[in-house]
């Protein structure tokens, strides 16, 4: 059994990298769908909410925000729900809501970042095992020369290439999503401040 595992360590490493790749793609798609819903122009939402508030339709404004899946709309909706509170309390409540929305946006991004950092090392591990096996086979055969070693090493380097194939997209997408989180966070902060002005909180 141990001999079989030793002989197929390269294949096992590739299977692990294949699983990491599927996991990475799954979270990329899931986060893309979340960010697609979460992103919305805060100015457009605030303009509509401002018009409704000017007409005395606070409930309609809150209902409008609740129906929107965007992070900014959820923050505004929460602010409207607690509009009667003093400015200091409202500011703290909006701050906690922004943190809650940001935490929701950052969910699973740590997995992508981890996969991007770990996958090259998994691939390198497979390469090292392959090189060890290649030299071991050369020593056991007692001949074959550089051609045998070159063939074994070329097969071993496949693991490194596979690790990079998994890591590079994961790192790129992770950085992209983190920029989106930062942009949405700024939108939420701006919307919170403008909402308090609209509400005339004191």
The pLDDT tens digits for 147-187 are 666 766 777 788 899 999 999 999 999 999 999 999 999 99
Q: What is the DSSP string of the chain?
A: -HHHHHHTHHHHHHHHHHHHHHHHHHHHHHHHHHHHHH---HHHHHHHHHHHHHTT-HHHHHHHHHT--SHHHHHHHHHHHTTTS-HHHHHHHHHHHHHHHHHHHHTTHHHHHHHHHHHHHHHHHHHHHHHHHHHHHHHHHT--HHHHHHHHHHHHHHHHHHHHHHHHHHHHHHHHHHHHHHHHHHHHHHHHHHHHHHHT--
**pLDDT tier at 2, thresholds 50, 70, 90:** very low
pTM: 0.83
Mean per-residue pLDDT over the chain, rounded? 85
Residue 172 is predicted with a pLDDT of 95
Q: What percent of the chain has pLDDT over 90?
A: 39
Residue 109 is predicted with a pLDDT of 93
């Amino acid at each position: 059994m141990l001999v079989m595992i030793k002989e197929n360590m390269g294949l096992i490493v590739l299977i692990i990298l294949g699983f990491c790749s599927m996991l990475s793609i799954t979270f990329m798609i899931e986060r893309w769908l979340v960010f697609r819903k979460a992103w919305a122009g805060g100015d457009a939402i605030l303009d509509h909410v401002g018009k409704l508030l000017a007409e005395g339709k606070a409930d309609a404004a809150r209902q409008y925000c609740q129906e929107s899946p965007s992070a900014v709309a959820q923050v505004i909706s929460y602010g409207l729900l607690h509009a009667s509170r003093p400015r200091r309390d409202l500011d703290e409540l909006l701050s906690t809501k922004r943190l809650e929305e940001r935490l929701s946006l950052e969910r699973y991004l740590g997995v992508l970042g981890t996969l991007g950092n770990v996958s090259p090392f998994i691939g390198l591990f497979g390469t090292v095992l392959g090189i060890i096996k290649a030299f071991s086979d050369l020593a056991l055969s007692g001949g074959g020369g550089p051609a045998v070693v070159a063939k074994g090493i070329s097969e071993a380097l496949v693991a490194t290439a596979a690790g990079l194939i998994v890591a590079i997209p994961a790192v790129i997408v992770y950085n992209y999503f983190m920029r989106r989180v930062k942009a949405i966070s700024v939108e939420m902060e701006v919307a919170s401040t403008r909402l308090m002005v609209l509400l005339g909180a004191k």
